[in-house]
Amino acid sequence: MGRSIVAFAAVLSLFSSFILAQNIPKCGPGSPCPASAPCCSQYGQCGVGAYCLGGCDPLFSHKLTSCVPAPVCSSADYQLNSLDNAAPINKYLGDASNTNWVYSGTPATYQGDSLLLTMAQDTVGTLIASTRYVWYGKISATLSTSQGAGVVTAFIMMSDVKDEIDFEFVGTDLEHAQSNFYSQGVTNYNNGANLSTSNTLENTHTYTIDWQPDQITWAIDGNVMRTVKRDSTWNATANRFDFPQTPSRIMLSLWPAGLPSNGAGTIAWGGGLVDWNSPLMQNGYYYARVHEVKVDCYDPPPGANINGRKSYIYTDAAGTNNTVQITDKLVTLASLQATGEDPGVDPDASQSSSASGTSTASSSASTSAEPESVPGMVGAGGMSEDTTSLAGGDSGAAPTGAAGGQAGSGQSGGNGGFSQGGSSQGANSGADVVKVEKLGGSVIAILIAIAAVMVL
Ligand SMILES: *[C@@H]1O[C@H](CO)[C@@H](O)[C@H](O)[C@H]1NC(C)=O
Ligand SMILES: *[C@@H]1O[C@H](CO)[C@@H](O)[C@H](O)[C@H]1NC(C)=O
Ligand SMILES: *[C@@H]1O[C@H](CO)[C@@H](O)[C@H](O)[C@H]1NC(C)=O
């Protein structure tokens, strides 16, 4: 445990090396984003568009209003048997009314009753995240995990200020679920606990996070395995409870802890290096299978600052429970060049040229003067019928300067963006890790998506 943080850092450092190459501004404590690229992504990079949506960190953005208000919790039982209500991260502009999930990587529908989170060779796997947030609730995911050295399946809750509640599954230990939590991304190696269960690959279990203002419980198939009370998390130094307390998205992911470019600790935690020629892979990829996600929203906590019913915003950079306000503000961006401060920006509507043109492909080809509009890279080779949307739409269109720009052009366009990235960034990875740990993030799984540097 706690490894997730390192993993996060490692993947981030990999990602950072790409970013550095493009001079994308970084953000974190003491260095908020500039007005020109106002939104601080969950990966600590500044941009516009999707940077201002899910995961946008208001504390390190240009203003608290740079990030788009977070759609409120809505109780639901999502049968994940299609991608009908899901959108790739570079196609989503913030309207959660008809899009329940955004994804990076390559999810694939399976047998009409479930979704596979796939991880093909040299990709960083797949991440799906809810478009709505939960501010206390009971969240269950029914799934079977992946397997194999270095292969991690995750079901987590994460807030924009990096409060986090986790279930993680390491592919070499199918008899345990690892539970963990973080507060504002601060690393604490004592927060983890292993929960025993029966083979997580062969058995489809229901994993439940019951998140209340004064306690969290982790349950498997209805049996509570662990309880953490808020009172036990008092941090006298910080004068606050290090307890997850801010609106959080639901995330499911499959990602590689076992990449040579990751830290030794991360690789060890993940059970070793990923074997990309493993008989455990099917159709060329590792996979985890998610059937259902159920959300029961709890009422806002007593004393909540309620000024509407549609979204959560932060009123102060403390990022604590009492700085969350429920409002009626809902914002859908006009384009991927828009931001929470300026949601109507749409280059296509006004002028036709400018580097942003289609706001997608061209931005990736443009220079670093253009702010990035999709955090992380989208894409990852395709397979299955769902690929059409990925390959057809995204690969080419991927606004992510990152994906198109780097992997493709910069690096002689081969496969294996990872190893290239890994080898070229060896020198600074240590520094980045330190920085992230200071930053505190255990954003874990997410990154995954990001680095989907994968080439197509
Ligand atoms: C949980 O088990 C893993 C091995 O799968 C081990 O590395 C880790 O230290 C354990 N965590 C705790 C808190 O016991
Ligand atoms: C208490 O909070 C401070 C400031 O966020 C942090 O550096 C420290 O690690 C926390 N202590 C523990 C035990 O988590
Ligand atoms: C915020 O948490 C504190 C404990 O740290 C609690 O006393 C207070 O009622 C909470 N407020 C809200 C709005 O949840």
Among protein residues, the one with the nearest Cα to ligand 1's atom 10 is 194
Give the separation between CA 336 and CA 310, rounded to whole angstroms. 22
- Tell me, in angstroms, the distance from the centre of ligand 3 to residue 245's CA: 9
- All domains of the chain in start order, with CATH: 3-70+327-377+398-444 (no CATH), 71-297 (2.60.120.200)
Is residue 380 a contact partner of residue 55, using CB atoms and an 8 Å limit? Answer: no
| Residue from 235, 239, 436, 437 whose mutation best tests the ligand 2 pocket (most atoms within 8 A of CB) | 235
List ligand 1's pocket residues with C-beta within 6 A. Answer: 1, 170, 173, 176, 178, 192-194, 269
Give the separation between CA 209 and CA 155, rounded to whole angstroms. 9
- List, in sequence order, every beta strand (DSSP E) within 245-380: 248-256, 285-297, 305-307, 311-314, 324-327
Backbone dihedral angles phi then psi of residue 109, each to the nearest 5 degrees: -70, 150
Give the separation between CA 296 and CA 192, rounded to whole angstroms. 25
pLDDT for res 122: 85
Query: H helices of 357-446, where?
Result: 361-365, 387, 396-397, 417-439
pLDDT for res 369: 66
Phi-psi region of 88 (alpha: psi -120 to 50; beta: other; left: phi over 0): beta
Angle at 182 between CA 11 and CA 220, to 5 degrees: 95
Query: Tokens 């259902």 belong to which residue?
Result: 292
Query: Tokens 């203002």 belong to which residue?
Result: 213
304 lines ligand 3 (CB under 6 A): yes
Q: Is 11 helix (H, G, I), strand (E, B) or coil?
A: helix
Q: Is 306 helix (H, G, I), strand (E, B) or coil?
A: strand
Which is the closest atom of ligand 3 to the Cα of 304?
A: 13
Among protein residues, the one with the nearest Cα to ligand 1's atom 7 is 269
Which is the closest atom of ligand 1 to the Cα of 173?
A: 5
Task: List C-alpha distances in Å: 222 to 114, 207, 217.
Answer: 21, 8, 11
Task: List C-alpha distances in Å: 444 to 74, 86, 98, 296.
Answer: 25, 21, 27, 24
DSSP assignment of 54-70, as one string?
TT--TTTSSSTTTSPPE
Burial status of residue 212 (CB atoms within 10 A of its CB: 0-12, 13-18, 19 or more): middle
Please state whether the predicted TM-score (pTM) of the whole model is above 0.85.
no
- Tell me, in angstroms, the distance from the centre of ligand 3 to residue 64's CA: 21
pLDDT for res 366: 41
Q: What is the DSSP letter of 26?
A: B
pLDDT for res 305: 98
Give the separation between CA 429 and CA 135, rounded to whole angstroms. 35
Which is the closest atom of ligand 1 to the Cα of 172?
A: 5
Q: What is the pLDDT of residues 173-205, one digit of tens each?
A: 999 999 999 999 988 878 999 999 999 999 999
pLDDT for res 187: 80
Q: What is the pLDDT of residues 198-257, one digit of tens each?
A: 999 999 999 999 999 999 999 999 999 999 999 999 999 999 999 999 999 999 999 999
- State which residues of the chain have pLDDT below 70: 1-22, 350-369, 376-456
Q: What is the pLDDT of residues 79-105, one digit of tens each?
A: 999 999 999 999 999 999 999 999 999
pLDDT for res 22: 58
Length of the chain: 456
Quick one: which of 299, 251, 293, 245 has its CA closest to 72? 299
Is residue 151 a contact partner of residue 266, using CB atoms and an 8 Å limit? Answer: no
Query: Tokens 């208000």 belong to which residue?
Result: 69
The helix-helix angle for 3-22 and 417-439 (nearest 10°) equals 110
- Tell me, in angstroms, the distance from the centre of ligand 1 to residue 150's CA: 14
| Residue from 5, 173, 194 whose mutation best tests the ligand 1 pocket (most atoms within 8 A of CB) | 194
Which is the closest atom of ligand 1 to the Cα of 178?
A: 1
Helix (H) or strand (E) holding 77, with range, is strand 76-79
| Residue from 214, 230, 245 whose mutation best tests the ligand 3 pocket (most atoms within 8 A of CB) | 245
Quick one: which of 447, 440, 452, 446 has its CA closest to 28? 440
Rg (CA), the chain: 20
Give the separation between CA 422 and CA 325, rounded to whole angstroms. 42
Q: How many CB atoms lie within 10 A of CB 439?
A: 22
Helix (H) or strand (E) holding 225, with range, is strand 223-229
Give the separation between CA 50 and CA 128, rounded to whole angstroms. 14
Q: Which residues are catalytic?
A: 164, 168
Backbone dihedral angles phi then psi of residue 178, each to the nearest 5 degrees: -100, 125
Q: Are strands 176-182 and 193-196 parallel, antiparallel or unpaired?
A: antiparallel
